[in-house]
């Protein structure tokens, strides 16, 4: 007879571990199945972790967790082929408790989180793949089938936290195969300046104008993605840099772009090359990111099962938010599982409370707000091509001192805009999809 648990969690990422920690602290018998050799082994994301939603599950986690740097500055660059228009915000309040966000390396952070969940009482089984879901005669999910001999496990509830592809929820027809424009592919390198750890940290702080221990993030739009809908990103870690480029999966095929080559070309941009001078590549990885938005969110529950995090297309690419959506969805799924356990009812009517709770949070409200943004950008690629180039040309003209009278210079800049009605219409269209 297969072993039975109260809840099986598939996937030891942020959403799965948040769900497990929530449940095990209320006495549920929880097993987490992870295909990697340890939690975080398959998670190559190195980015931003938001303090408030994460501390809702793991209070004051930053005091012991392997976070990299508190983010005190968030910048946005619009790039042409050889220049950059820069904007951003810096707050010294973000350098003190309560922090706003941290840069993290998920391989380190998730391993720590997994140990914390295990210490709380959950059983974490790494190196194991769930190949199918078990269902009873009425179709209710009652367990999982793994790739191990005699690897069937039973549970009252299964929580699917199996990432952006989410083949398991596809198997039970919660959704069809994701379309290529509903996923983005990001490629990333971890880059280390020369020297020992403390020397590398000092170089980073000098190059980015940071005090010791402080960090920043830069999101980049324009020339680096070669007309594709996507962004580049740069995050400062303790003694390394995370740099990557991401675009819609469909665009890589349409524009015949090689992700690795795209990343190498991006590193040579004049605005970036000095920041990477002398750096060596320590890691290289690729990562699929859900980009389908609100309209791609599958049913979040069925009899005996709930779907969380990336597996549920919970990602707000416009605001670079994913980790906070994952933690929040995992927490709410865990709370719903506790309620179901107390009732002894594991059917969809009870588990629907998870969707109701999530609908009442920023997660669904924000995704609903931006539901048309991705499709709008696909149809209006000038926001990634001609408009960044135009703004850079205008800025170059504005800041160039060449004895040209300012009235003539202003008129020249005005003419650079070209079709003013087209620009106004494009900006109005963008406003309508993000308002």
Q: Rounded mean pLDDT of 294-323? A: 93
Rounded to the nearest integer, the mean pLDDT of the chain is 94
- pLDDT band, residue 42 (cuts 50/70/90): low
Architecture, CATH, for domain 181-290: 2-Layer Sandwich (3.30)
Query: What was the pLDDT predicted at 318?
Result: 85
Domain ranges of the chain: 4-68+104-176+293-360, 181-290, 375-434
- Per-residue pLDDT, 390: 95
Question: Is-same-fold flag (4-68+104-176+293-360; 181-290)?
Answer: no
pTM of structure: 0.94
- What's the whole-number mean pLDDT along residues 85-96? 95
Contact 227, 221 (CB under 8 A): no
Predicted pLDDT of residue 150: 85
State residue 43's pLDDT score. Answer: 67
Of 260, 302, 13, 300, nearest to 133 by C-alpha is 302
The pLDDT of residue 46: 60
Residue-level pLDDT at 44: 56
Q: How confident is the model at residue 45 (pLDDT cuts 50, 70, 90)?
A: low
pLDDT band at 287 (very low <50, low <70, confident <90, very high): confident
Least confident of 35-49, 160-174, 397-411: 35-49
Predicted confidence (pLDDT) per residue in 252-264, tens digit: 999 999 999 999 9
pLDDT at residue 26, rounded to an integer? 97
What per-residue confidence (pLDDT) applies to 40? 75
Least confident residue range of 71-75, 242-246, 317-321: 317-321
Superfamily of domain 4-68+104-176+293-360: FAD/NAD(P)-binding domain (3.50.50.60)
Instruction: Return the pLDDT at 159.
Output: 98
Is residue 55 over pLDDT 70?
yes
Q: What is the mean pLDDT of residues 81-104?
A: 95
Report the pLDDT value the prediction gives residue 433, as an integer from 0 to 100: 85
Per-residue pLDDT reduced to its tens digit, 189-234: 999 999 999 999 999 999 999 999 999 999 999 999 999 999 999 9
**Of 23, 44, 27, which Cα lies nearest the Cα of 286?**
44
pLDDT at 369: 94
CB atoms closer than 10 angstroms to residue 1: 5
Mean pLDDT for 262-278 is 97
Which pLDDT score is estimated for 146? 94
């Amino acid at each position: 007879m297969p072993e039975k648990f109260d809840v099986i969690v598939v996937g030891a990422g942020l959403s799965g571990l948040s769900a497990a920690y929530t449940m095990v602290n209320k006495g549920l018998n929880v097993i987490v199945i992870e295909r990697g050799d340890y939690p975080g082994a398959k998670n190559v994301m190195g980015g931003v972790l938001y303090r408030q939603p994460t501390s809702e599950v793991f209070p004051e986690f930053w005091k012991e967790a392997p976070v990299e740097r508190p983010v005190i500055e968030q910048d946005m660059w619009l790039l042409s082929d050889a220049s950059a228009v820069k904007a951003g915000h810096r707050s010294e309040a973000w350098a003190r408790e309560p922090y706003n966000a941290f840069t993290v390396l998920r391989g380190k952070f998730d391993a720590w989180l997994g140990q914390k969940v295990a210490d709380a009482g959950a059983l974490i089984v790494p190196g194991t793949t769930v190949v199918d879901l078990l269902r009873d005669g009425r179709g209710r999910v009652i367990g999982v089938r793994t790739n191990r001999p005699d690897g069937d496990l039973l549970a009252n509830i299964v929580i699917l936290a199996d990432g952006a592809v989410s083949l398991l929820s596809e198997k039970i027809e919660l959704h069809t195969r994701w379309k290529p424009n509903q996923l983005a592919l990001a490629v990333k390198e971890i880059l280390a300046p020369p020297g020992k750890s403390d020397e590398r940290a000092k170089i980073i702080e000098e190059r980015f104008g940071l005090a010791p221990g402080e960090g920043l993030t830069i999101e980049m739009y324009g020339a680096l993605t070669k007309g594709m809908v996507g962004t580049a990103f740069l995050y400062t870690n303790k003694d390394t840099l995370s740099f990557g480029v991401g675009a819609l999966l469909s665009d890589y095929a349409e524009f015949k772009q090689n992700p690795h080559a795209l990343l190498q070309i991006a590193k040579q941009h004049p605005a970036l090359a000095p920041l990477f001078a002398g750096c060596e590549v320590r890691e290289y990885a690729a990562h699929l990111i859900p980009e389908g938005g609100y309209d791609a969110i599958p049913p979040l529950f069925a009899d005996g099962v709930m779907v969380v995090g990336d597996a549920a297309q919970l990602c707000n690419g416009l605001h670079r938010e994913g980790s906070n959506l994952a933690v929040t969805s995992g927490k709410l799924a865990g709370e719903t599982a506790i309620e179901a356990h107390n009732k002894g009812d594991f059917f969809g009517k009870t588990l629907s409370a998870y969707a109701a709770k999530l609908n009442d949070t920023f997660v669904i409200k924000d995704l609903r707000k931006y539901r048309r943004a991705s499709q709008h950008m696909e149809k209006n690629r000038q926001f990634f091509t001609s408009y960044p180039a135009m703004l850079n040309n205008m800025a170059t003209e504005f800041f160039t001192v060449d004895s040209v009278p300012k009235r003539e210079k202003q008129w020249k800049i005005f003419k650079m805009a070209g079709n003013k009605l087209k620009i106004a219409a494009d900006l109005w269209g963008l406003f309508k999809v993000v308002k």
